[in-house]
Structure 1
Amino acid sequence: MRMRLFFISAWSTLDPLYYLCTRLHYIEQTRENATIFRVRLTRYKGREVTLSDGTIIKKNDVLIKIHLHNVRLLKELQWFDNDLRKTMILYKKVKESLPHLALYIQQHENEKEIKGIIGITMLNKGCERLGFEPYTISSRTYKWFKQLALYPIYLLSTPKRPPKNRKTPSPKYLFMSKGSLLTKYGFHIK
């Protein structure tokens, strides 16, 4: 437990530097409705993907890349040993943040160009219920790089002693079209 707290503390110290280097920014929010997303505009570089609503995401399409505020989440979840409880809290926080993301896109100066949102995660169980569509990363090199980059988050978010037979999940793209996001989450901010 001490080692886990040490890493979370060190990460908290380095997070502002990471934030600056990645060109991320926060979605405007009120204190009561703090979102767990940090975002940036990006051009998609993967293979062509057709989403369930017919939206086709092609190379160089403009997307909003979402990043979970992992340090904040890990601090909040560190006291829970139960994976199911952690998953439920994460699910709730993402669901509460999506209306803010919808509003952010609606008010963005490039709103007409934006085709959807994209994230990359190893923790993708239940993402379909939120409206995300998971897709395998086709580039082996990029998949390996993301697995390496996301592994510390995965380790810090798992129980103190994960079972030896537990397989490390592969990172996946999570997509949601702008139309799906606005239909499901637009104009619902409380």
Structure 2
Amino acid sequence: MAAAEERPGAGSGAEPVAVRVLRLLAERDQTLAVAESLTGGLVAAELTAVPGASRAFRGSVTAYATPLKRDLLGVDGELLERRGAVDADVALQMARGVRSRLGAAWGVATTGVAGPDPQDGQPVGTVYVAVCGPPGGAAAEGKTAALRLNGDRAEIRRESVRSVLELLAGELSGNARAKDTEQNGGN
């Protein structure tokens, strides 16, 4: 029972990123919704593998087909036609859409090309991940990360899962530091 049981985001001796994300959300009494394309449900699976995930995880939408990004998540159809599904703005709109549609405080999204062939003019390994925080908060506008990943299809998908959860963990940690500063700054 060694390396074969490691999951994306599991570090040597460190708290796995999915555990950290769910702990941070639970501490804030906030929830998370996930929109996935190339990861095909792997982000949701990583989160739900953590005991007690239901305290913070609302659910997910796997919008693998491009029309579903528009129809289920509210991604702008003209944007999809102009740039295709593999795009930073598409990822951000996916995160906003899933957050809104599933009634969560936070939304995250993955879109990209896992291979074996290029898509929408983008090479294999091009991935965009996004996170969008609670409306009215500092993270409400959202944040994206562009990834250029190497490896086979499975490796690209695993790294996409780790990357989107790390992006969210960073936003949650930064959000906590900003709140601490607001609460303690004027005293």
Asked which structure has the greater RCO (Cα within 8 Å, sep 6+), the reply is 1
TM-score, with structure 1 as normaliser: 0.27
